[in-house]
Amino acid sequence: MSPTSAPHDPQSMDATKAKNLDTTTNTNKQIEDLYKLIDGIKIATFTTRARDGSLVSRPMATRERIEGGPDIVFVTNNQSHKLDDLSYDNHVNVAYSKGQNWVSVSGTASLVNDRTKIKELYKPDLKAWFGDLGDGVHTGGPEDPRITLLYITADSVHYQLQDKSTPTVLFEVVKGAVTGALPETGPIRELGTSELNHARNIATQ
C-alpha cells in the first residue's frame, strides 16, 4: 500500500451484502419477519465451542421461540457433551436455513431445570431421543431428570428474507455471472442488542 492510498472499507468490499442490506425497513417489521422465519423452520444448527477451541455443530429441534421475543428454547439431555462445551464457553450460534432464507442467531446459552415448563413443552417424540433405561426413573418421560431446557438469549441476529421466486433469484445470479452486475437475492437484515431489547420490551407491555 502506498503512503497516500486509503485502506479498503470492509463493508464496501462485500459488495453483494451491501447491495442487499436492508437499511429502510422499520425495526418492528424486521422483528415480525424474523419471528416468521424462526417459527417456520423447525430444525436448527446449534454450534458450541469445545475446550480445545474447535467449533462443534449439531441439529436440534426448536421447542419454543419465547413469545414476543427473539430468544429460543431447546430441550436437551443434561448428560450431553454439549454441556461440557457450555461450561467452558456459553457463547453459541443457532442457524436456520430453508431455501434462500437463512437466520443466524448469536447469543448465550443457559440451562433451566424448570419441571413445570418441561412438562408444558414435552412431546411424546422426545422419548425416542432419551430412551427408557428401565430403572423407573430415566424413562424418557416428562419426569426424567435428564431432560433439561436450554435457553438461548440472543445478542445479535442476521437474516436474509427471500422476497422473490427461486427462478428469479437464479436468474439474478446467472445474470451477475455474465454481466458482473450484483444479484439482488433478497433483503439482508441485521439486528443488534438495542433492536432485540426493543422486541423484548414490546413483549412485556
DSSP label at residue 52: T
Per-residue confidence (pLDDT) for residue 185, from 0 to 100: 62
Return the minimum-mean-pLDDT range out of 46-55, 58-67, 89-98, 168-177: 168-177
Per-residue confidence (pLDDT) for residue 19, from 0 to 100: 74
Nearest of 102, 99, 103, 104 to residue 168 by alpha carbon:
99
Residue located via cell numbers 439486528: 191
Per-residue confidence (pLDDT) for residue 5, from 0 to 100: 42
Give the separation between CA 60 and CA 63, rounded to whole angstroms.
Answer: 9
Per-residue confidence (pLDDT) for residue 6, from 0 to 100: 43
Convert the pLDDT of each residue in 121-133 to its tens digit.
999 999 999 999 9
Convert the pLDDT of each residue in 65-116 to its tens digit.
987 678 999 999 999 999 999 999 999 999 999 988 999 999 999 999 999 9
Q: Are 76 and 92 in contact (CB under 8 A)?
A: no
pLDDT band at 4 (very low <50, low <70, confident <90, very high): very low
Q: Are 139 and 126 in contact (CB under 8 A)?
A: no
Longest dimension (CA), the chain: 75
Per-residue confidence (pLDDT) for residue 119, from 0 to 100: 96
Mapping DSSP onto H, E and C, the string for 113-137 reads CCHHHHHHHCCCCHHHHHCCCCCCC
- The mean pLDDT value for 140-150 works out to 96
For the cut 60, the answer to whether the pLDDT of residue 42 exceeds it is: yes
Query: Half-sphere exposure (CA, 13 Å, Cβ side) for 99?
Result: 16
Per-residue confidence (pLDDT) for residue 169, from 0 to 100: 44
Residue 150, burial from CB neighbour count under 10 angstroms (0-12, 13-18, 19+): buried
Convert the pLDDT of each residue in 8-36 to its tens digit.
454 555 666 777 788 889 988 999 999 99
For the cut 50, the answer to whether the pLDDT of residue 7 exceeds it is: no
Could you tell me the domains of the chain? 10-204 (2.30.110.10)
Query: Is the entire prediction scored with pTM above 0.85?
Result: no
Return the minimum-mean-pLDDT range out of 14-18, 134-138, 142-146, 166-170: 166-170
Phi, psi values for residue 59, rounded to 5°: -75, 140
